[in-house]
Amino acid sequence: MLMQKKLVGIVVCMVVALSFFSSTTAADPDAQLEIKIVGGLPLPLFFHYVGGAVANIGDTSAYNITIIMTIRGGILGTTNETVVGYYDELPPQQAYGVGINNAYGFGLVTITLTASASNTENVTGIAHGVQMGGFTWIPFSWIHLIT
């Protein structure tokens, strides 16, 4: 019985002591954008596709979003495509996709995805890949999309 009381007393003291050392942090109430970029997959629907996703990982909506995706490079700079998208609102924990179909060329390319909103910081993502005709290979890009 005495041993049980000592054990309970030790546990209570530990819980009280830990509460003094722990601190609470408030969640960031702002919108926050995050970018992912993916290249083509050797599958019929995704072979000629270079895409990206812009997600709002914050706690409030992002407003007046502009998304610009470019793919540039290749031998003699022959690969040069740009897509622009505009959205009024991106709710929290949601994402918009953007893509370039049928980019063509040969050689090293740089894919840039930029997103801006009126109530959060601009973000830019850059990926490097290889353009082989109509196929854009960005190593391990589809694995990064699901993580």
Reported as a single tens digit per residue, the pLDDT across 95-130 is 998 989 888 899 999 999 999 999 999 999 999 999
Range of the domain at 39: 33-145
User: What is residue 29's predicted lDDT score, i.e. its pLDDT?
Assistant: 62
User: Would 11 be classed as within a structural domain?
Assistant: no
User: Would 79 be classed as within a structural domain?
Assistant: yes
User: Would 101 be classed as within a structural domain?
Assistant: yes
Q: What mean pLDDT comes out for the span 57-78?
A: 93
Per the structure, the count of domains in the chain is 1
Query: How many angstroms separate the CA atoms of 50 and 99, rounded?
Result: 6
Sheet of 79-90, strand order: 79-90, 62-73, 105-117, 120-133, 135-137
User: Would 27 be classed as within a structural domain?
Assistant: no
pTM attached to this predicted model: 0.74
Of 21-35, 75-89, 114-128, least confident by mean pLDDT is: 21-35
Query: How many angstroms separate the CA atoms of 1 and 22, rounded?
Result: 32
Residue that is written with structure tokens 């050797």 in the block: 42
